[in-house]
Amino acid sequence: MKNEQIKSLLINILTVAVPVGVLIVGYFIFVKKDTATVSSVASIAKIAEETVSIGTQIDYTVKDLGDLERAVADSKIIFDLPAFKNLQDFTVAVPIEAVGRSNPFIPTAWKLKMRAIEETAAKSATSQSGAQSASVSGVQSQTP
């Protein structure tokens, strides 16, 4: 009886271990990228030089972030000044109006008014110029 239990236990363990092992081996073969091995002193020097340049860039970034933090702290002081606290809000609510027209090709009322005013002005200008030309022609006819 114990042999059968041990045998079934080993079969269960192998049933789980074999697929897990296949997955792990597959990951290392297909997914994981190979790491470059360093074989020469020149490549070690190049890596060290790149590391130093990255370090200096990080130092500049940290310095810039410190400057930015100080600038933000200095700008927050403005909000504590009494002159800023005494400011008043004079906003005006803008009423919502309808946008667009049902037929954009029909002239608007103000355009019709302007057209009527222009026509009236043109008629009065032609009647005045006609009266002036008649008086001028009358003056010319009187002179011998």
Q: Do 18 and 7 share a domain, yes or no? A: yes
Q: What is the rounded distance in angstroms from the CA atom of residue 100 to the CA atom of residue 106?
A: 12
Q: Do 54 and 10 share a domain, yes or no? A: no
Query: Contact, 84 vs 78, CB < 8 A?
Result: yes
Q: Do 40 and 68 share a domain, yes or no? A: yes
Burial of 120 (0-12, 13-18, 19+ CB in 10 A): exposed
| Structural domain that includes position 17 | 1-34
Q: Do 30 and 56 share a domain, yes or no? A: no
Which pairs with CB-CB distance under 8 Å and at least 24 residues apart come from 50-58? Answer: none
Q: Tens digit of pLDDT for each residue in 80-137?
A: 889 888 999 899 998 888 887 778 788 888 899 999 999 999 998 888 776 666 555 5
Instruction: Give the DSSP letter string of 21-82.
Output: HHHHHHIIIIISPPPPPP-SHHHHHHHHHHHHHHHHHHHHHHHHHHHHHHHHHHHHGGGGSH
Amino acid at residue number 88: Q
Q: Do 18 and 52 share a domain, yes or no? A: no
Residue 7 has pLDDT above 50, yes or no: yes
Which of the four pLDDT bands, split at 50, 70 and 90, describes residue 139? very low
CA 64, 65, 66, 67 dihedral sign is: positive
Q: Do 67 and 48 share a domain, yes or no? A: yes
Q: Tens digit of pLDDT for each residue in 27-67?
A: 888 877 666 565 677 788 888 899 999 999 999 999 999 99
Q: Do 47 and 14 share a domain, yes or no? A: no
Q: Tens digit of pLDDT for each residue in 13-22?
A: 999 999 999 9
Number of domains in the chain: 2
Residue 115 lies in a domain: no
Q: What is the rounded distance in angstroms from the CA atom of residue 78 to the CA atom of residue 86?
A: 12
Q: Do 79 and 41 share a domain, yes or no? A: yes
Q: Do 46 and 77 share a domain, yes or no? A: yes
